[in-house]
Structure 1
Amino acid sequence: MRSTPRLPLSAAALCALALAAAACGSGSEPAGTAAAPGRSGFTPPKIEALKSLGASEGQVNLVHWAGYAEDGSNDPKVDWVTPFEQATGCQVNSKTAGTSDEMVNLMKTGEYDAVSASGDASLRLIAGGDVAPVNTALIPNYADVFAGLKDKPWNSVDGVSYGVPHGRGANLLMWRTDAVKPAPDSWSVVFDPASPYKGKITAYDSPIYIADAAVYLMATKPDLGIKNPYALDDRQFQAAVDLLKQQRQLVGEYWSDYTKEVQAFKSGDSVAGTTWQVIANVAKADGAPVEVTLPKEGSTGWSDTWMVAAKAENPNCAYKWLDWIISPKANAQVAEYFGEAPSNSGSCELTADPKHCETFHATDEDYFSKVWYWTTPIAQCLDGRTDVTCKDYAEWTRAWTEIKG
C-alpha cells in the first residue's frame, strides 16, 4: 500500500530507477464483496488454483514495483531476471506500476500473469476475482518462507493462500540525534500537540497513515477499544482523524518522495517523523545524524505478495517466477537491493552484507509481532465485529484530503 517510491539502498540504484509512487492508490472498497463475509471480511469468487504444472509457455508478463524484477538494464551487476530466463525458458516481460490503483487496473486488462501486490491491492484483486488461489505445493521454495508471513489477512482468505510473500518492513520513527533529545521511544514526539519540534515533524503522505494514528491511539486511548488499526468504526475513525488534524499543526512537510525525506533530514528541515529502514540507511550514508526505532506503541508496516492472475495466459511460467523470486539467492538479491527483510529463511546467508538481515530484523518475529502490516480497510470490520460497520478505504481517502486541507 505504498504511496511513495521505495527505492533501493545504493546511490547507483537511486539514480538508475525512476522515482515511482508506490501502493496506496485511491483506495476504493474491494469490488465483489460478498454479503456473508469470511474471516477476512468478504467471501472471494470461486476460482480454482492450478492443480499441476505443465510445460513452460516461453514467457511471463509481470506487473511489479520498481526494483522487484531487475534484469541488469538499470545496473549490470543487479540481475536476477536473466538467470531465471536461462533456467526456465520463460522470457520476462515486465511492467513497473506506480500505484496500487494502476496495478489493479493493469491486472483487470487480462494482459498480465503475475503481480507483486501490496496489502490494499491484494485484497481488491482477490475480492474482484482478478487473481487465483495459489497451489503452494507447486512452489517448492514456499516451504522456507518465514512462518510469520504465511496465511495472513493480506495474502490469504480463510486459510487459502493467494500468493507468496516477497519481503517485509516496518514503518519506523526517525529523528536527528543532534536536535531531538532525549532519544524518543514513542510516537508521542510526532503526535503530542506540545511537541517542541513543531514545524519540523514529517509524516507519510497517504491515507493509510490514518492507521499510524490508530496504532498510537490503541496504546494511549484504550477506551476507544481499537483492536485493529485497519478496522475503525465511526467513533474510532473520527478519533484518528482528529488526532491527525491536530498533528497537521506540527507537520512541516508530508513526504511522498523518498529522496526529499532524505534531504529534509540532512538539512534539518525535518527532525522527527515516520520512515523506512532503507531511508535511514541512505540518510546516514549521506552524513545525516539520524537514528530509528520501532516505538513502544508498535507501528504499521508492509509485506508484498506475488500473485497469479485468475486468467493467466502463462500460468506455468508464472508459477516458476513465484518460486524463483522467493528462492534463497534471488530473494536475498532483491531484498538487499530494494531495502527490506527477505521472505525466505535461507536468504540471510546469501546477502552481500552479512548484517543485512540483522539490520532489517528478518528473523526477529518478536520485532514483527509489533508491526501491523498494511491491509485494506473494508466495511466489514477486519477485527471480527459484526454489530458495526467500519470505514472503508474510500472513506479513508476522503478523510485524508480533509486532514491535509
Structure 2
Amino acid sequence: MRLTRTLRSAACAGAALLLAAACDSSGSTSATGLNPPDLKAPTKLGRTEGQVDLIAWAGYVEDGSDDPRVNWVGDFEKQTGCQVHSKVAASSDEMVKLMKTGEYDAVSASGDASLRLIASGDAAPVNTALVPNYKDVFSGLKNGAWNSVNGRMYGIPHGRGANLLMYNTQKVRPAPTSWSAVFEGASKYKGHVTAYDSPIYIADAALYLKATRPELKIKDPYALDQKQFDASVALLKKQNAEVGEYWGDYLKEVSAFKSGDSVVGTTWQVIANLAASEGAEVKAVVPKEGSTGWSDTWMVSSKAKHPNCAYKWLNWIVSPKVNAEVAEYFGEAPANSKACAETSDKNFCAVYHAADEDYWKRIAFWNTPIEQCLDGRTDVKCVPYAKWVQAWTEIKG
C-alpha cells in the first residue's frame, strides 16, 4: 500500500526552476529551446561497484524491514552484489535537493521534478539499450514530455496513476461526471469538499478551465500564461470556501470519506479501493474533462558514484515480476507490459487500466511549470513553479 506523496513547497524549488529552460509537450527542444547540458549516456556497463544509493517514494524500495513479506531488494542484492542504500523522500522538492548533493545514484522522480533535474544537469540521459526490460515498457510511458528531451530518454518509467474524482454515492447525486462537482457546483457540499494539498493542484483547475472556458485558450495545464494562471488561481480561491480539508495523507482521506467529513474530491485509485474495502460508499471516475496524473521515472544522477549498479537497479525494478510486486504494494499501474501476468490479483491491471492506452490519453501527467511555455508558445512567458508555490499559500489562506 502506498504511503503518501506530498508536494510541499521548499525554498530550493524557486532557485532550481530559474535554471530550467523548457520543452514542448512532445518532449522536443525545437519549439522552446531547452538545451540541457551535453551529458553522455554510457555505451556499455562495467563491473558493478558493490552498492547503489537511491532516493525513492515510500514503498518503492522495500527490503522486508517494514513487512517481511514485501522484499524485492534482497534478491537484487544477491543477484548483482550491489548493496542497496535508500532514502525515502517526502516530496519532489526534497528529491531535487538531494540529487544536487551528488550523494545518490538514482531517483524515482515524478514529472514535477524531472525537468528540473534534466535542465540543471543533475540527471543524465540513459542508454535504454543497457536496460533490457525497457523494451517491454508500455509505449505511452516512453518519450514523454516529463522524461525525455528531443527523443532522448532521461530515465526508465516505473509506473503511473490518475488523479480521480471520488464521491459518496449516497450523498452526491446524481453521480458526477464533471469536475464542476468540486468547482462551480461545490457549494452544494460546502465543508465536505476535499482537494489535493499541493501547488501542482493548480493544474487541476486549469484542466477544468481548458474545457469550460475556451476563450482562455489553455492547451496544457502546466503551461499557463499570467491570464490563464490568474483564472486558475481565482477558481481555487473560490473553491477554498467550500473545502473542508486539503489532503496529502491517504489514510486521512480514507477516514474522512468513511466518516462523511468528505463527500467529494480528488483521489487515487488505491485510496478509492481502500475506502470501499473499509465500508465507505464511494466511487471514483475520470470526469469528462479528463484528469491530471503522475508518472514516475527512475533517473540516474550525472554524478553517480555507482552507475553500473544503478543501471542494474533500473533493469531490476522494471522487470515483470518485481514491477508487478511494486505496483500492487504501492497502488499504481505497472510500467512493464509483462507485469500484468505476474500480479497476485489477476484483475489488478484491469482495475488500474495498466494496458488501456486510450484511458491514459485522457490523463495530463504532472510536468514542471517553467517560464518557457511547455505548449510551444514563444510570444508569452508562462508562470514558473516557484510562483505556483506562492499562489498555493494564498489560495489556502
Same-fold call, TM cutoff 0.5:
yes
Give the counterpart letter for 1:42 in structure 2: L
Give the counterpart letter for 1:61 in structure 2: D
In structure 2, which of residues 214, 229, 243 is the aligned counterpart of residue 222 of structure 1? 214
Pair 352,94 (structure 1): closer, same or farther in 2 beyond 3 Å: same
Residue in 1 aligned with 2:26? none
In structure 2, which of residues 385, 389, 392 is the aligned counterpart of residue 397 of structure 1? 389
CA RMSD of aligned residues (A): 1.5
In structure 1, which of residues 32, 40, 46 is the aligned counterpart of residue 19 of structure 2? 32
Residue in 1 aligned with 2:169? 177
SS class of match (1:116)? strand
In structure 1, which of residues 198, 209, 212 is the aligned counterpart of residue 204 of structure 2? 212
In structure 2, which of residues 331, 334, 342 is the aligned counterpart of residue 339 of structure 1? 331
State the 1:107 CA deviation. 1.1
Q: Deviations over 1:86-115 (max 9, x none)?
A: 111111111111111211111111111111
Using the alignment, how far apart are the partners of 1:284 and 1:72 within structure 2?
Answer: 27
Using the alignment, how far apart are the partners of 2:175 and 2:22 within structure 1?
Answer: 48
Residue in 1 aligned with 2:145? 153
Give the counterpart letter for 1:104 in structure 2: V
Give the counterpart letter for 2:135 in structure 1: A
| Residue 315 (structure 1) aligned with residue 307 (structure 2) | yes
Pair 25,35 (structure 1): closer, same or farther in 2 beyond 3 Å: closer
Using the alignment, how far apart are the partners of 1:194 and 1:130 within structure 2?
Answer: 42
Using the alignment, how far apart are the partners of 1:81 and 1:307 within structure 2?
Answer: 18
136-145 or 186-195, larger mean C-alpha shift: 186-195
Give the counterpart letter for 1:33 in structure 2: A
Pair 40,73 (structure 1): closer, same or farther in 2 beyond 3 Å: farther
Give the counterpart letter for 1:90 in structure 2: C
C-alpha contact 2:51 2:83 (8 A) present in aligned 1:
yes
Pair 68,188 (structure 1): closer, same or farther in 2 beyond 3 Å: same
C-alpha contact 2:7 2:198 (8 A) present in aligned 1:
no
Give the counterpart letter for 1:226 in structure 2: I
Using the alignment, how far apart are the partners of 1:232 and 1:31 within structure 2?
Answer: 16
Residue in 2 aligned with 1:22? 6
State the 1:33 CA deviation. 3.1
Residue in 2 aligned with 1:79? 71
Give the counterpart letter for 2:337 in structure 1: S
Give the counterpart letter for 1:306 in structure 2: W
Using the alignment, how far apart are the partners of 2:195 and 2:367 within structure 1?
Answer: 19
SS class of match (1:82)? helix
Pair 141,125 (structure 1): closer, same or farther in 2 beyond 3 Å: same
C-alpha contact 2:50 2:309 (8 A) present in aligned 1:
yes
Q: Deviations over 1:252-295 (max 9, x none)?
A: 11112211111100000110000000001111111101000000
State the 1:38 CA deviation. 4.5
Instruction: Give the 5 Å matches for 1:297-312.
Output: 297-312=289-304
Instruction: Give the 5 Å matches for 1:364-383.
Output: 364-383=356-375
Residue in 2 aligned with 1:94? 86
In structure 2, which of residues 282, 287, 291 is the aligned counterpart of residue 290 of structure 1? 282
107-116 or 291-300, larger mean C-alpha shift: 107-116
State the 1:25 CA deviation. 3.8
C-alpha contact 1:171 1:276 (8 A) present in aligned 2:
yes
SS class of match (1:92)? strand
Using the alignment, how far apart are the partners of 1:238 and 1:114 within structure 2?
Answer: 36
Using the alignment, how far apart are the partners of 1:255 and 1:139 within structure 2?
Answer: 37
Using the alignment, how far apart are the partners of 2:54 and 2:269 within structure 1?
Answer: 27
29-38 or 216-225, larger mean C-alpha shift: 29-38
Using the alignment, how far apart are the partners of 1:50 and 1:31 within structure 2?
Answer: 29
Using the alignment, how far apart are the partners of 1:113 and 1:38 within structure 2?
Answer: 30
341-350 or 178-187, larger mean C-alpha shift: 178-187
Instruction: Give the 5 Å matches for 1:144-293.
Output: 144-193=136-185, 195-293=187-285
C-alpha contact 1:299 1:371 (8 A) present in aligned 2:
yes
188-197 or 235-244, larger mean C-alpha shift: 188-197
Using the alignment, how far apart are the partners of 2:382 and 2:348 within structure 1?
Answer: 39
C-alpha contact 1:166 1:325 (8 A) present in aligned 2:
yes
Give the counterpart letter for 1:263 in structure 2: S
Give the counterpart letter for 1:217 in structure 2: L
Using the alignment, how far apart are the partners of 2:279 and 2:32 within structure 1?
Answer: 44
SS class of match (2:194)? strand
C-alpha contact 2:7 2:199 (8 A) present in aligned 1:
no
Using the alignment, how far apart are the partners of 1:219 and 1:169 within structure 2?
Answer: 21
Using the alignment, how far apart are the partners of 2:276 and 2:269 within structure 1?
Answer: 11
Q: Please list every run of 5 or more consecutive structure 2 residues that lacks an aligned counterpart in the other structure.
A: 24-28
Q: How many residues align?
A: 389
| Residue 110 (structure 1) aligned with residue 97 (structure 2) | no
In structure 2, which of residues 349, 353, 359 is the aligned counterpart of residue 361 of structure 1? 353
State the 1:51 CA deviation. 1.2
C-alpha contact 1:48 1:133 (8 A) present in aligned 2:
yes
Using the alignment, how far apart are the partners of 1:157 and 1:54 within structure 2?
Answer: 26
C-alpha contact 2:165 2:179 (8 A) present in aligned 1:
yes
In structure 2, which of residues 113, 118, 125 is the aligned counterpart of residue 121 of structure 1? 113
SS class of match (1:30)? helix
Using the alignment, how far apart are the partners of 2:32 and 2:141 within structure 1?
Answer: 16
SS class of match (2:188)? coil
Using the alignment, how far apart are the partners of 1:44 and 1:210 within structure 2?
Answer: 27
C-alpha contact 2:21 2:370 (8 A) present in aligned 1:
no
Using the alignment, how far apart are the partners of 1:261 and 1:130 within structure 2?
Answer: 35
Q: Deviations over 1:190-230 (max 9, x none)?
A: 10156411111111111100000001001111111000000
SS class of match (2:369)? coil
